């Protein structure tokens, strides 16, 4: 071996023994501490148990039930604000067992707005079935506001052929509808009730016609099949601004309006446009598919994303809003003209050149991201109209309130079913 290489020198035996002893001593010490803590914990728990057992239950009135004097059971300790069913408890003596065995729904006591809109099923009286649609079924009926007062309403429920997913969406739809405040451009929600486990939604029954019917009233001496109403700029702008305000509101609460048209807008005697039949944004794709199956002409004048991909967003609503505005300006006409393989936009109606708004044409761009927001459309129309038109709204309202819109078929006066 080479003398320069260092040889390994083994460690002394007494040093190894010291390490082993220290390790054993440390382990025993830690184990003893753990055992001591465990014994102390058990002793403390037993001490607390004995002290509780010595207390007089009669003195602890806060833990007793005020009505029966007994300790609360698991049924008494239910969490608040959760719908629950009445549970039979043998400690109680029911005056009417059959009545208490029915399923009940408890609303939060602090939510007065919701409580004021919930009715018992006994308060609802269905009169006749208006129509059964692929999505909704509607009835005309009455609800009892008091023992001496009733109100005529339109009762809406999901169609029977709907899936369980649609039923869950319907519950969310009703919940969201309760949050929408009353607005002159939205059909008022009167309330709801639970009938056989299904939620029935009540809307005000309006004695009016659709905007489409109003725009196609024939003029005197006009025998054409597609007549129009001669309206002032003030009247036109009242309709346009009202529709835009209503659409802004439903968008802010997570709704969209697939297939919006003048046939889906009600016009009251006070010349107010009211929206209905909108849906949750997440249900828009299903709604579009359902409409396509029921109506072969649904794709006519529809935005590209609806035709090719069955997609529907707030930007799709902008496309349809522009179509509705054009229908108001030029009833019975389309803003598009097909020349060969090219679609050409029509010129602005000459009768309303004073309120010409180029932003309306931007609503029909194929790229959804380039379409203007509803708030910007409304602001642009307000700026074009000026304060002179806005100041005439009150005069227009008074004039239309005295105008008799004529008696129509009750089916036409009520909400149409999609």
Instruction: Report how far residue 51's alpha carbon sits from residue 370's, in angstroms, rounded to the nearest whole number.
Output: 74
Q: What is the pLDDT of residue 168?
A: 64
Top pLDDT among 11 and 330 is at 330
Residue 325 backbone dihedrals phi, psi, to 5 degrees: -60, -40
Highest mean pLDDT among 95-99, 102-106, 360-364, 405-409: 360-364
Q: Which DSSP string do the residues of 120-151 spell out, in sequence order?
A: -GGGEEEEEEEEE-SSEEEEEEEEESSSS-EE
Compute CA 81 distance to the chain's CA centroid, rounded to the nearest angstrom. 20
Beta partners for residue 265, in sequence order = 275
Query: Cα 383 to chain center, whole Å?
Result: 32
- Asked if 198 contacts 302 with a C-beta cutoff of 8 angstroms, the reply is no
Residue 312 pairs with which residues in a beta bridge?
Answer: none
Query: Percent helix, strand, coil in the chain (nearest 5)?
Result: 45, 15, 40
C-alpha pair distances (Å), 163 with each of 135, 192, 417:
10, 21, 18
Residue 208 has pLDDT above 70, yes or no: yes
Question: What integer best gives the mean pLDDT of the chain?
Answer: 75
What's the mean pLDDT in 120-143?
A: 89
Domains in the chain and their CATH numbers? 112-204 (3.30.200.20), 209-413 (1.10.510.10)
For Cα atoms 257, 263, 267, give the angle at the middle one, nearest 5 degrees: 100
Confidence (pLDDT) at 163:
52
Q: Which two tokens stand for residue 82?
A: 């959760």
Q: What is the pLDDT of residues 82-97, one digit of tens each?
A: 343 333 333 333 333 3
CB 357 within 8 A of CB 331: no
pLDDT tens per residue, range 225-265: 454 567 889 899 999 999 999 999 999 999 999 989 999 99
Q: In the Cβ-directed half-sphere of 88, how many Cα atoms lie within 13 Å?
A: 7
Q: What is the pLDDT of residue 111?
A: 55
**Residue closest to 216 by CA, chosen among 251, 276, 263, 272:** 263
**Where would I find the H helices in 256-392?**
284-294, 304-309, 314-329, 359-362, 374-391
Token reading at 354: 């004073």
Residues 6+ apart with CB under 8 A from 412: 209, 210, 213
3-state SS, 214-225, equals HHCCCCCCCCCC
Rounded to the nearest 5°, which phi and psi values hold at 278?
Answer: -85, 170
Element spanning 339, H or E: strand 336-339
108-123: average pLDDT? 70
The phi and psi torsions of 347 (rounded to 5 degrees) equal -80, 155
Read off the pLDDT of residues 269-320 as tens digits, 9 standing for 90 and up.
Answer: 989 999 999 999 999 999 999 888 888 778 888 999 999 999 999 999 999 9
At residue 329's C-alpha, the angle toward residues 328 and 330, to 5°, is: 95
The pLDDT tens digits of the residues spanning 321-377 come to: 999 999 999 988 889 887 777 778 899 999 899 899 999 999 999 999 999 999 999
How far, in Å, CA of 227 to CA of 220, rounded? Answer: 10
């Amino acid at each position: 071996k080479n003398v320069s290489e260092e040889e390994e020198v083994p460690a002394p035996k007494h040093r190894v023994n010291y390490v082993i002893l220290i390790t054993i001593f440390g382990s025993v010490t830690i184990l003893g501490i753990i055992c001591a803590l465990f014994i102390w914990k058990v002793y403390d728990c037993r001490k607390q148990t004995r002290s509780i057992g010595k207390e007089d239950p009669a003195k602890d009135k806060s833990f007793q039930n005020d009505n029966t004097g007994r300790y609360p059971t698991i049924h008494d300790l239910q969490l608040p604000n959760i719908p629950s069913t009445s549970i039979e408890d043998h400690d109680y003596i029911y005056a009417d067992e059959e009545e208490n065995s029915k399923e009940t729904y408890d609303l939060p006591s602090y939510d007065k707005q919701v409580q004021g809109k919930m009715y018992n099923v006994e308060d609802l009286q269905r009169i006749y079935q208006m129509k059964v649609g692929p999505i909704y079924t509607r009835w005309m009926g009455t609800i009892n506001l008091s023992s001496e007062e009733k109100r005529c309403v339109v009762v809406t429920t999901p169609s029977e052929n709907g899936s369980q997913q649609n039923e869950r969406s319907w519950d969310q739809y009703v919940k969201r509808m309760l949050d929408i405040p009353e607005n002159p451009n939205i059909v008022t929600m009167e309330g709801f009730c639970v009938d056989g486990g299904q939620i029935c939604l009540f809307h005000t029954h309006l004695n009016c016609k659709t905007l489409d019917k109003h725009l196609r009233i024939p003029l005197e001496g006009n025998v054409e099949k597609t007549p129009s109403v001669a309206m002032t700029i003030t009247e036109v702008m009242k309709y346009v601004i009202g529709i835009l305000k209503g659409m802004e509101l439903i968008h802010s609460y997570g709704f969209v309006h697939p297939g919006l048209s003048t046939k889906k807008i009600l016009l009251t005697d006070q010349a107010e446009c009211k929206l209905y039949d909108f849906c949750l944004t997440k249900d828009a794709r299903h709604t579009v598919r359902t409409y396509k199956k029921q109506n072969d002409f649904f794709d006519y004048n529809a935005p590209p994303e609806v035709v090719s991909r069955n997609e529907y967003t707030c930007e799709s609503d902008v496309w349809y809003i522009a179509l509705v505005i054009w229908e108001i300006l030029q009833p019975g006409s389309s803003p598009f003209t097909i020349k060969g393989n090219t679609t050409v936009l029509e010129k602005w109606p000459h009768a309303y050149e004073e309120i010409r708004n180029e932003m309306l044409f931007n609503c029909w761009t194929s790229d959804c991201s380039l379409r203007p927001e509803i708030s910007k459309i409304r602001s642009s129309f307000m700026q074009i109209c000026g304060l002179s038109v806005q100041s005439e709204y009150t005069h227009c309202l008074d004039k239309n309130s005295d105008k008799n819109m004529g008696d129509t078929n009750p089916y036409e006066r009520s909400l149409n079913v999609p």
